[in-house]
Structure 1
Amino acid sequence: MQIELNGKPHPLPDGATLEQLIAALELTGRAVAVAVNRQVVPAQQWAARALVETDKVDVVRAIGGG
């Protein structure tokens, strides 16, 4: 299947979860916020949130600064 990730097409296996996407992006354990179809999904729900073809996912990394 193909989802939209940060505005660009991104291929994923059918039935992939949000947790699997974050792992594939090598962002596990990093400070990130994730929204699916403009709805923020808490990290505790990533493993249970299956993605589907029409999903639009936005991943934002926290960047420290001063």
Structure 2
Amino acid sequence: MNIVINGTPADVTDGWSVGDLVRARTEEQRRVAVARNSEVVPRGEWDTTALSEGDRIEVLAPVAGG
């Protein structure tokens, strides 16, 4: 299935959830936020939010600095 992750086209496994994607992409899930098609996905819904063909996903990590 083709989606876009942080602006980059990606092929992911059919049937994946947001949670599957986050676990595959980052080791520190507690420190990221996820938006699917410009809508924030609450952490408690990651495993029940299925990815669909053409989804645009943003995986965001906090950045410190000034």
TM-score, normalized by the shorter chain, greater than 0.5? yes
- Residue identity over aligned pairs, in percent, reads 39
C-alpha RMSD over aligned residues: 1.4
Spell out structure 1 runs of 4+ moving beyond 2 A.
26-30, 63-66
Q: Describe the superposition over 1:24-44 as per-residue Cα deviations: whole angstroms up to 9, x where unpaired.
A: 002443311110000000000
Q: Is the 2:33–2:60 contact (alpha carbons within 8 Å) kept by the matching residues of 1? A: yes
Instruction: Give the alignment's TM-score, normalised by structure 2.
Output: 0.88
Structure 1 residues without counterparts, runs of 5 or longer = none
Residue correspondences, number? 66
Structure 2 residues without counterparts, runs of 5 or longer = none
Instruction: Give the alignment's TM-score, normalised by structure 1.
Output: 0.88
| Structure 1 or 2: more helix by fraction | 2
